[in-house]
């Protein structure tokens, strides 16, 4: 009988269970493998442990937490079948805006002389609002005009950087209040990163917002026919990504205790890399926040490991590039073997 096709054989079930392992497992193994290799190389070349050094681990995560916050937003955009190139510039713009509202009264030339020593909530809210606005522009351009996301966010990327420079005519903003600087001190950025990751992990898995985001990325046409209002939903997704870039901007300004228009250069690419290493598919419909967190950590381990081994930064970039490409190749291979097994 057709129901009894060999589909239910033991072999098939085992094969299915193997394929059913969360896709993060393979990428997690890469992370562990990298960390262990650095540990081994550490003992051989610099006579030190790589992993058993609390300080180093904290710095390592701290370095990538800004990228991680952005990547949480970018992952959602990628799942929805889009791309966001504007994140790095939005970091710069929001860092400038937040810093300008976080100056202390002992600043020599404050941007707003009457607005110094404001409570910390003001610069934070301003940074998030400007980020949200940038995301809204991205989303509205994409939903309203149906230009490709690549182009829309490329335009915003260039313009936002311009606005960041224009804002203070290129002058950096410094002398920030202690309460604002506290956002960037110690492990606070790490907590913000993990907190946003958890929040949106839950949102993607357990809310209608999440289900619709996957559906739109998997097949926008079918999503529309199924009654999803695709345009407004995309605006929401890009606005969330923009807000998270704004949050990253606030953290960046707080860590540097200043705002500079050159901040956040190429962060968008690191964030996209983290998402893609973590298994997000640029064709949409596939991706997870847990994968992105692991992808972010991989970037962190590579950077920190190379510094630890005192290897030139040039090699770092070469290896980083190779890891990104290898991750996508591995992912495609997995997808294909999965499809073939069907």
Cβ–Cβ contacts within 10 Å for residue 7, how many?
9
Degrees to nearest 5, angle at CA 134 with 299 and 82? 60
Nearer to another protein, 103 or 213 (CB): 213
Question: Shortest Cβ distance from residue 126 to another protein (Å)?
Answer: 27
Q: Is 322 in the site for another protein (CB under 8 A)?
A: no
Phi, psi of 176 (to 5 degrees): -100, 160
For residue 155, what is the enclosing H or E element? helix 149-167
The one-character DSSP state at 44 is: I
**Of 50, 193, 214, 308, the one binding another protein by CB under 8 A:** 214
342 binds another protein (CB under 8 A): yes
CB of 233 to another protein, least distance (A): 11
Residue 6 near another protein by CB under 8 A: yes
Among 45, 150, 206, 315, binds another protein (CB under 8 A): 206
> Which of 57, 59, 58, 84 minimizes the C-alpha distance to 70?
84
Give Cα separations from 27 to 37, 77, 87, 330 (angstroms).
15, 21, 24, 10
Kindly indicate which of the ranges 34-42, 95-103, 175-183, 212-220 contains the residues binding another protein, using the contact rule CB under 8 A.
212-220
Specify whether the CB–CB gap between 254 and 95 falls below 8 A.
no
| Listed ranges 48-56, 84-92, 257-265, 332-340: which one lies at the site for another protein (CB under 8 A) | 332-340
Distance CA 271, CA 196 (A): 14
CA 10 to chain centre: 41
Residue 155: CB minimum distance to another protein, A: 25
Task: In angstroms, give the least distance from the CB of 206 to another protein.
Answer: 6
By CB under 8 A, which span of 58-66, 92-100, 282-290, 306-314 interacts with another protein?
A: 282-290
**Nearer to another protein by C-beta: 6 or 44?**
6
Smallest separation, CB 327 to another protein (Å): 18
| C-alpha distances out from residue 121 to 85, 127, 179, 250, 305, Å | 28, 10, 10, 11, 36
Q: Does 21 bind another protein (CB under 8 A)?
A: no
Residues forming the site for another protein (CB under 8 A): 1-3, 5-9, 11-13, 15-16, 20, 206-212, 214-215, 218-219, 221-229, 281, 284-286, 338-342
């Amino acid at each position: 009988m057709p129901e009894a096709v060999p589909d239910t054989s033991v072999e098939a079930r085992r094969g299915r269970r193997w394929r059913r392992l969360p896709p993060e497992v393979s990428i997690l193994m890469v992370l562990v493998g990298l960390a262990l290799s650095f540990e081994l190389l550490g003992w051989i070349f610099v006579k030190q442990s790589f992993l058993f050094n609390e300080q180093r681990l904290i710095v390592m995560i701290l370095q990538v937490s800004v990228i991680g916050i952005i990547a949480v937003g970018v992952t959602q955009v990628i799942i929805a079948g889009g791309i966001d190139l504007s994140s790095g510039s939005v970091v710069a713009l929001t860092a400038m805006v937040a810093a300008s509202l976080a100056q202390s009264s002992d600043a020599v030339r404050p941007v707003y002389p009457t607005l110094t020593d404001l409570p910390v909530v003001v610069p934070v809210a301003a940074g998030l609002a400007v980020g949200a606005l940038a995301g809204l522009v991205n989303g509205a351009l994409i939903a309203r005009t149906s230009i490709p996301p690549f182009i829309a966010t490329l335009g915003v990327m260039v313009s936002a950087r311009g606005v960041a420079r224009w804002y203070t005519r290129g002058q950096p903003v410094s002398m920030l209040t202690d309460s604002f600087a506290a956002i960037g001190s110690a492990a606070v950025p790490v907590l913000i990163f993990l907190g946003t990751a958890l929040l949106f992990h839950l949102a993607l898995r357990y809310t209608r917002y999440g289900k619709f985001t996957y559906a739109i990325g998997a097949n926008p046409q079918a999503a529309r026919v199924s009654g999803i209002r695709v345009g407004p939903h995309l605006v929401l997704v890009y606005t969330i990504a923009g807000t998270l870039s704004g949050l990253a901007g606030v953290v960046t300004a707080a860590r540097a205790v200043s705002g500079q228009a050159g901040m956040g250069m190429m962060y968008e690419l690191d964030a996209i890399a983290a998402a893609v290493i973590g298994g997000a598919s640029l064709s949409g419909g596939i991706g997870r926040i847990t994968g992105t967190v692991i992808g972010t950590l991989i970037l962190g381990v590579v950077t920190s490991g190379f510094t630890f081994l005192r290897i030139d930064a040039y090699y770092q970039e070469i290896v980083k590039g190779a890891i990104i490409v290898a991750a996508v190749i591995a992912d495609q291979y997995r997808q294909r073997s999965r499809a073939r097994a069907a």
